[in-house]
Amino acid sequence: MDIEATATAPAIVARPARRVYRHRLPVRVMHWINVVCLTVLLMSGLNIFNAHPALYWGRESTFATPWISFGARNTPNGPVGYTRIGNTEFDTTGVLGLSTSGEGSRPMARAFPTWATIPGPQWLAMARHWHLFFAWLFVINGVAYVLFTIFSRHLTRDLVPTRDELRNIGRSIVDHLKLKHPTGDAATRYNVLQSLTYLIVIFGLLPLVVVCGLAMSPRLDTVFTGWVELLGGRQSARTLHFLAAFGLLLFVVVHVAEVFIAGVWNEMRSMVTGWYTIPEERARQEVQP
């Protein structure tokens, strides 16, 4: 843009629409690798889960008393699918416990339906191959990302909120509830709720899901005798692995919803090309003569 043109701009419009470079190439690449990995890991994980659709707390399985289980049973009105949490049972026919693999197919007893699992059919051996291969990609990508955030100062500059931002967290919460999003310069920075969420996901949920996954390996359990006890035992680790995965799914749902609210094309472009457009700021600002 021509500098002179800016200098003689009318005093009432402070800043025209402009483009800012928001995401660097490594972050963009690692973001999309992560999208693929998490999708495959979640869906192959659900196929693995279907092999024994019940969760326990402790070292071993108390088969009669899982804290959550999914199943199907015959009733006079036909088969029903259920989800049981503690002693309470919910009818989840069609999705959980009993589902079809498309129109016209017979209902099958399976915890998660075919559209939620990789592979679609119940196939534990293949689901494990998908899961354990993409787990490696996911961990390598994750470690590379964490190293990048530290050494590029992405972590301290962009992800860790400032003291001021933390003080104003109340306003950020209200803004989020009103679906009001930062504009202008503020839109070039992560807002405080966003940074805190990213920090919890990157340094909380993601390491937790990995550690709990490793805890389910009988060989890795022997690295330090008894370390799995720190997670409450192997079956607790399986429970935590599942809960952390659903925590991640919840994050993705909110994250994608926020992308739609904030402007899907602009946000997608910024994660693909790096460039984000800050719309024209219409607020009339007095310009000093």
Q: What are the residues binding another protein (CB under 8 A)?
A: 40, 43, 48-49, 51-52, 54, 56, 59-61, 63, 114-115, 118-121, 123-126, 128-130, 132-133, 135-136, 216-223, 225-226, 228-229, 234-235, 238
Q: Please say which residue, 175 or 221, places its beta carbon nearer to another protein.
A: 221
Residue 178 burial class via C-beta count within 10 angstroms: exposed 0-12, middle 13-18, buried 19 and up? exposed
Instruction: From residue 109, give the alpha-carbon distance in Å to each of 92, 96, 102.
Output: 12, 9, 14
Least Cβ distance, residue 164 to another protein (angstroms) = 39
Least Cβ distance, residue 201 to another protein (angstroms) = 24
Ramachandran quadrant class, 31 (left: phi over 0; alpha: psi -120 to 50; beta: rest): alpha
Least Cβ distance, residue 11 to another protein (angstroms) = 36
Residue 134 burial class via C-beta count within 10 angstroms: exposed 0-12, middle 13-18, buried 19 and up? buried
DSSP letter, residue 284? E
Least Cβ distance, residue 224 to another protein (angstroms) = 9
88 — phi, psi (to 5°)? Answer: -100, 135
Least Cβ distance, residue 59 to another protein (angstroms) = 6
Least Cβ distance, residue 283 to another protein (angstroms) = 28
Q: Please say which residue, 27 or 126, places its beta carbon nearer to another protein.
A: 126
Q: Please say which residue, 94 or 121, places its beta carbon nearer to another protein.
A: 121
Q: Please say which residue, 162 or 222, places its beta carbon nearer to another protein.
A: 222
C-alpha–C-alpha distance, residues 219 and 237, integer Å: 15
Q: Please say which residue, 134 or 190, places its beta carbon nearer to another protein.
A: 134
Are the CB atoms for 204 and 244 separated by under 8 Å?
A: no
C-alpha–C-alpha distance, residues 113 and 36, integer Å: 20
How many residues would you count in the chain? 289
Q: Please say which residue, 111 or 278, places its beta carbon nearer to another protein.
A: 111
